[in-house]
Chains A and B, each alone.
Chain A
Amino acid sequence: MKSCVIVFPASNCDRDAAVALEQATGQKPDMVWHGETSLPDTDFILLPGGFSYGDYLRSGAMAGRSPIMQDVVKKAEDGVPVLGICNGFQVLTETGLLPGALMRNAGLEFICGMQTLQVANTQSRFTRGLSDRAFVDFPVAHHDGNYTADQETLNRLEGENLVAFRYVTNPNGSSRNIAGILNEKGNVLGLMPHPERVISPLLGGEDGTAFFATALKEFG
């Protein structure tokens, strides 16, 4: 299975994501520079965490308009799975592939630490491999993770079962404790917590291994 990681200026979780993908697929992902205009042949696209463009203008705003993103949006619309983690989630909302926006944390502080998440959707292709567990522990590390959308959008996300993960203890003020959401087709997932940072006992957990292994098997 071929996967790729998009690298923006000031991405900083791109190599962690590459290790997680290689661990799950047995194949090194292609690392694609944001200035490219077309993606290589790929079965899975990952937008990594970081502070692309120094969070100028709005988190994810500049990266969302990078040359490569036109092809990412096209592939997503064609059904290729796209996973956005942290800054990657912010980029997905900025491109319109996912609704809503990630605002400054309610407490105004950068937060960093392990979070217990409820697996809110156990039917999506990204998450059904986790259906044997009600909760996963993934760490967060962000300043702008406060998920915001209008009431109608929030009601639709809940009504259509598009909330993938919820915080058990809300760390950032996110509406309805939302930590991650899916698009209607179920091939785009954005989440603020970092599954790629818990892929070995040496890193403090292995819930990320389970997430990547089952999600990539689904899409493989």
Chain B
Amino acid sequence: MKARVHITLRPSILDPQGNAIEGALTGLGFEGVSGVRQGKVIELELTETDEAAARSKVEDMCKKLLANPVMENYEIELVG
């Protein structure tokens, strides 16, 4: 089973990289863009076939390494 983890900065955390991207988009003439936030995606291949067990395993990985709860939120997506 494949899992995809989406890691985003918590809304309360300033994102200077997102702000810079937003500035660049505006500079390129894209109008009406706001709230740009940069995050990351981590893909994992798991031998686990049970969906609930896989989700709980990835959840544990997020807590222990993949995300830093001080500044990040995460969402787990299981892909077939």
Residues of A within 8 A of B (CB): 57-58, 61, 65, 93-94, 99-101, 103-108, 146, 148-150, 173
Min distance, Cβ A136 to any Cβ of chain B, angstroms? 28
Q: 12 other contacts beyond A101-B68, A106-B14, A107-B16, with CB at 8 A cut-off?
A: A57-B66, A58-B68, A61-B65, A65-B64, A93-B70, A100-B70, A106-B16, A108-B20, A146-B16, A149-B70, A150-B12, A173-B14
Q: Main secondary structure on chain A at its contact with chain B?
A: loop
- How far, in angstroms, from A103 to B20 measured CA to CA in the complex? 15
Cβ-neighbour of B71 out of A103, A105, A108 (below 8 A): A103
| Residues on B with beta carbons closer than 8 Å to the beta carbon of A106 | 14, 16
Within 8 Å of chain A (Cβ to Cβ): is B53? no
| Residues on B with beta carbons closer than 8 Å to the beta carbon of A105 | 16
| Residues on A with beta carbons closer than 8 Å to the beta carbon of B65 | 57, 61, 65
Do A94 and B20 touch (CB < 8 A)?
A: no
Cβ-neighbour of B68 out of A94, A104, A146, A173 (below 8 A): A94
- How far, in angstroms, from A105 to B20 measured CA to CA in the complex? 12
Cβ-neighbour of B70 out of A57, A101, A104 (below 8 A): A101
Within 8 Å of chain A (Cβ to Cβ): is B13? yes
- How far, in angstroms, from A57 to B70 measured CA to CA in the complex? 15
Within 8 Å of chain A (Cβ to Cβ): is B17? yes
Do A104 and B17 touch (CB < 8 A)?
A: yes
Do A148 and B71 touch (CB < 8 A)?
A: yes
Do B70 and A148 touch (CB < 8 A)?
A: yes
Do B12 and A108 touch (CB < 8 A)?
A: no
- How far, in angstroms, from A27 to B74 measured CA to CA in the complex? 46
- How far, in angstroms, from A101 to B16 measured CA to CA in the complex? 15
Do A103 and B66 touch (CB < 8 A)?
A: no
- How far, in angstroms, from A207 to B33 measured CA to CA in the complex? 48
Min distance, Cβ A65 to any Cβ of chain B, angstroms? 6
- How far, in angstroms, from A23 to B13 measured CA to CA in the complex? 41
Min distance, Cβ A178 to any Cβ of chain B, angstroms? 14
| Residues on B with beta carbons closer than 8 Å to the beta carbon of A100 | 70
Which of A94, A103, A108, A149: most chain B CB closer than 10 A? Answer: A103
Do A101 and B71 touch (CB < 8 A)?
A: yes
Min distance, Cβ B11 to any Cβ of chain A, angstroms? 12
Encode B9-39 as 1/0 by CB contact (under 8 A) with A.
0001110110010000000000000000000
| Residues on A with beta carbons closer than 8 Å to the beta carbon of B64 | 65
